Every structure is written in C-alpha cells, then in structure tokens.
Structure 1
Amino acid sequence: MIGKLDLYRVFSVVAKNSSFSRAAKDLYMTQPAVSQAMKQLEKELGTRLFNRTPKGVTLTTEGSLLYEYTNSALGLLVAGEEKLFEFKNLTTGQLKIGVGDTISRFFLMPYLEAFHTMYPNIKLQMFNGTTSEICNFIKSGEADVGFCNFPVEDLTLQLTVCTEVQDIFVCGEKYRTLETKSLSYEDLSKFPLIFLEKKSNSRKYVENYLFAKGIQIAPEFELGSHDLVLEFARSNLGIACVTKEFSKDYLQRGLLYELTLLESIPKRSIGMCYLKSVPLSRAATKFVEIIENKDERKRINRRT
C-alpha cells in the first residue's frame, strides 16, 4: 500500500503535469496506479482534488490549496535531505569542544588546525572550564567531546588517554640557589608556594600525592591559570608547581629553573572524554578518529 507521503508526492507530480499519463512516466509508474493513488488520496481527504477532462486534469479549488502546501512541504523535505547529506559529508556542521586554556594551547591546537584544514566548513565552538566543568558540559550536551586532566572518575564517560605530563616545581632568579640541591617535599613546604586554584584537577592530583606523603600544603598564591602561575614564579613570588610540558618556553629561555626533587611526582595523563550512551555527531566522530589515530598524532607532533 502506498504511504501518505508517497500519495502527496504523486499528487504533486500529477498537478505539475496536469496529466495522469505524463505523471506516470515521470514516476515510473503505470497510469492506472497513478489514477488509483489519487482516488485513494481524495477518499482519505474526503474532497475532490482534480477535475478530470479528456485532455487531462486540472486542480479544483481545494486541490490548488493543497498543492501550495504540498509543494512547500516537499521542498522542505528535499532541503532537509540535502542538509543531512552535507552533514554526512562534513561540508557543514558544528564541533563543540570543552577544554581548558592551557591544554588547548599546548596540546589540542595542532589537532584543531589539522581538523580545520581537512573540514574547513565545520564550525568549531570551544567551551572553557576546569575538568569538572568540562565533564558537565559533555553530560549536559553543551559539548560533544572534552579534553582535560585525568584522572576522571565517571562511568558515563568514555575516557581515552592522549598523553602523559609531568608536574614539577620551578623558581625564578631569587630562589635559583635551590637549583643545585636535591629537595624533599618537606623542604619545599617551607617556601612560599604558588599553585593553581583548588578546583583544578592537576592541583588536586599533586595535593593528594603530597598528602599521602605526609605533607599538607598551604600555598601562598592560588591562581586561575597556568600562565599566571608561571608569571608569579618568574616574578620571584615563590616556588611554583607547574606542568613541565607546558612550561618549556620559560625553562628553555632561562626565565624559570626546574628544581631537583628527591622523589619525582608520578606522571599523570591528559585525556579525551565523551558520553558512552550518546552517538557522536559526524564531525565529532572524525575529530575523535584523528586524536585516536596514532600515526596521525605522530605526524602532527613531528610537524609541531
């Protein structure tokens, strides 16, 4: 049995051709089948749509009214199909990413550049936040995928480790004499300390590790960004806990000095997360594939 939408498609073609026979050719149907379809539609609507004449058919007043709406509706369907095709082929669409400033700058940027080069018509929307905020962005649907400091304990999220990073302590010129010594965590706690704010996942990681070693820290400064932590250390306001991989420029230029610890803080991970229960958009799927493709990651890392 012909469905209601198909009946309207047949109706539209008959109306355009003013003929059952010409419509049948366009639709690759038999003329009796077209005629029967229009009788079925008229019966379901309870009104006559065509005036039948020896030369063909013309629309009744009711048929003309229905034709305007049918044409508009079918046009919207075609436009929707075309738009869906564009999304499928990534000629349009949107990718929403939750990520902090530091990870975006020092890890994610080359991947964003590579994705934009491959799919220039995909709009990128970034949501800035801490690890907990990024996870909330994902669970609320505001972001498709997030990049943050691990560990993350959430069974609703698919987690992928992207890279490992090392937390270190650094100082400016004022404390440079410490560079030649091997320091314990207890030694460090006697100096003014500069840390990220408490809600930062990287701060929690280091703080929990030190607490397990019997050291409870009371930072002199708690700041909202990694860049500020570096600048405060460079200004000799204290000894700062920073991520080594994100501080290379300061270390290489001699603006900061890495301190030697008797026991290094274990490395932690930066990773990607997205909802397990919700299928990713086509754009998000492609971006995740780039991140998870080891060969692509090596190529991007060599380039940067």
Structure 2
Amino acid sequence: MSKLDLYRVFCMVAKRKSFSKAAQDLYMTQPAVSQSIMQLENELDTRLFTRTPKGVTLTNQGSLLFEYANSAINLINVGEEKILEFKNLTTGELKIGVGDTISRYFLLPYLEAFHNQYPNIKFKIVNGTTLEICSIIKSGEVDIGICNLPLYDPALETRPCIEIQDIFVCGEKFKSTLTGQVSLEQVVSLPLIFLESKSNSRKYVEDYMLSQGIKMSPDFELGSHDLLLEFARINLGVACVTKQFSQEYLDQGLLYEVQLQKEIPMRSIGVCFLNSVSLSPASTKFVEIIDTKLSEK
C-alpha cells in the first residue's frame, strides 16, 4: 500500500476505534487493516494504538499524528470533490481574452447562453488587441481568445467562427465623390481613418493594399472601431471598418458603404488557444456552444 493509503486506514481506525469496523468501512479484511497499521508503525518506529478489550485507542503519538493526518485526508477529499465539481461545471472560472468590438458585436450572445446553462461558472474577460491576447494566452492569463484572423503563431491553434468583410465607409461630405464603383487608388487619395497600426484588422487590410501596389498613410489612427464610425459620420474622412459591425450605421443612413471595384477578401473571427495544452472543461463547453449556435444560423 502507498503511504497515503496507510494514512487513510490509520484515520479510519482512529475514528472507528476498531480494526473490524474500520475494515468494514474500507471494504478490506481485518487482517489487511492490522497489517497496514503495523506497517505504518514500523515505518514511523512508534506505537500508534493501544489495544483494549473493546477495541483500540490512540496513543499520545497516535493522537498527534491523527490531528495532522486527518486534516490532510480531509483536504485531499475536498480537493477531489472540487475536481469533480469543476469537471461537471458546477464551479470554476472561464477566462477569455477579447477585444471590445468583438465582445460587443460577436461574443455577448454566447456568454449569455453559457451563463444560462452553467450559472456557477465565473467569467474573467481580459480586453486587448489580437497580438496582446495571443501573448496572454501563452502566459496562461486566459484560457482562450476570440481574435481577428488570420493569425500566424505556431504555439496557437485557431478555429474560425464567422467570416467578416472589411469595407470603406463615408459620411455625406464624401458621398458624391465616391459614387459608383471606386478604385482603391481613389479611396487612398482622400483622408483615411484606420485603426492603430498594431491592430490585426489594420494589418490585414494594409497588407492586401500593398499586394495591390497601393501604399496608404492614414490621417487618423484610432483605438476603437466605434470611433472609426463616429469620425466618418462627422465627415473627417473615409474609414476602413468591419461591415458586420457597422450595419446599424449603414441601415440608419448615418454612413454609406463605398462600392469598391474589387472587394477586399473576406477574413474570419475565431477562437484561439494553446495547441500544446488541453482546454479546460469550461473552455471546451464554451467552444461547443459557439459551434452549436453558429450551426443553427
């Protein structure tokens, strides 16, 4: 028997004050229990029990050992229970890295669905750019990230969720200038409003434009998608935005989509996580909920 097993037998005998009763509770034979206690006493070189006609009582040394061993066994049992609760999603924490825009326009319905099914799981949401999220995934600060793809990092696995379209939008001031089908050269001749350079979305569009032989120099570089929409609405320039996250402005006529002669290729938003580490039960279930809800659409 392992040392831990010996201590489990020892604690049960101490509680039941009987080898035979302890054997019944442990589903062991009485000789096996006696042998276990003898082995522990030999290893510790001390007597733990005094035999009496009515059973056994702890010696002074046995009482001291029981105080610590019983606490340790109880803590181990609690730990095992917590593991089961964690696996059954009755407790725990789900840590997600995500940007503000993706949180608002993509993530919220899935958080709601997960919370309705597993109300005892706590959320920790860490905001950041895609590159920042990749860093905190690798540091273990979050379990999964919801990021702008494509993403090239051999340490991470990615699962695309939805396709999104990058477009240019403008307000009333530039609407007449950008009628009909417009070339990228025409667009970059106007004041440009883009996300900051460290944004993965910005990098994707910029790389595409460079592949078309077009180099751009934005007049405004902003930290949020909502600001892009507002700057374009007040006619400060032409903004590069995500169509799916700008639909409210377009539907209300606050902004107008620039019709490009050649659309920017679509890209994706997806889940990313370390490819060398298994997802936690909560993370696994959350990804399953995303997949299920997307398949229903």
TM-score normalised by structure 2 residue count: 0.96
Aligned to 1:53: 52
Aligned to 1:114: 113
SS of residue paired to 2:177: helix
The answer to whether residue 85 in structure 2 is matched with residue 86 in structure 1 is yes
Aligned to 1:66: 65
Q: Which amino acid aligns with 1:176?
A: K
- In structure 1, how many angstroms separate the alpha carbons of the residues matched to 2:169 and 2:24? 80
Deviations 1:78-126 (A, max 9, x none): 1111111100100001111111111111111111111111111111111
SS of residue paired to 2:277: coil
Aligned to 2:2: 3
Q: How does 1:101-140 map to 2 (within 5 A)?
A: 101-140=100-139
Deviations 1:130-173 (A, max 9, x none): 11111111111111111111111112211111111111111112
Aligned to 1:272: 271
Aligned to 2:188: 189
Q: Report sequence identity in percent.
A: 66
- In structure 2, how many angstroms separate the alpha carbons of the residues matched to 1:22 and 1:150? 63
- In structure 2, how many angstroms separate the alpha carbons of the residues matched to 1:161 and 1:32? 61
Aligned to 1:30: 29
RMSD: 1.3
SS of residue paired to 2:128: coil
Query: In the TM superposition, what is the alpha-carbon distance from 1:179 to its structure 2 partner?
Result: 4.8
Aligned to 1:281: 280
- In structure 2, how many angstroms separate the alpha carbons of the residues matched to 1:167 and 1:55? 83
Moved over 4 A (4+): none
Unpaired stretches in structure 1, ≥5 consecutive residues: none
* 8 A contact 1:179–1:257 mirrored in 2: no
SS of residue paired to 1:91: coil
- Which of 293, 297, 304 does residue 294 from structure 2 map onto? 297
- In structure 1, how many angstroms separate the alpha carbons of the residues matched to 2:240 and 2:28? 75
- In structure 2, how many angstroms separate the alpha carbons of the residues matched to 1:256 and 1:141? 41
SS of residue paired to 1:85: helix
Unpaired stretches in structure 2, ≥5 consecutive residues: none
Query: In the TM superposition, what is the alpha-carbon distance from 1:12 to its structure 2 partner?
Result: 1.0
Query: In the TM superposition, what is the alpha-carbon distance from 1:187 to its structure 2 partner?
Result: 1.1
SS of residue paired to 1:180: coil
Deviations 1:49-73 (A, max 9, x none): 1111222211110001011111101
Aligned to 2:249: 250
* 8 A contact 1:130–1:200 mirrored in 2: yes
SS of residue paired to 1:260: coil
SS of residue paired to 1:178: coil
After superposing the two structures, state which structure 1 stretch, 114-123 or 283-292, moved more: 283-292
* 8 A contact 2:161–2:294 mirrored in 1: no
- In structure 2, how many angstroms separate the alpha carbons of the residues matched to 1:272 and 1:28? 48
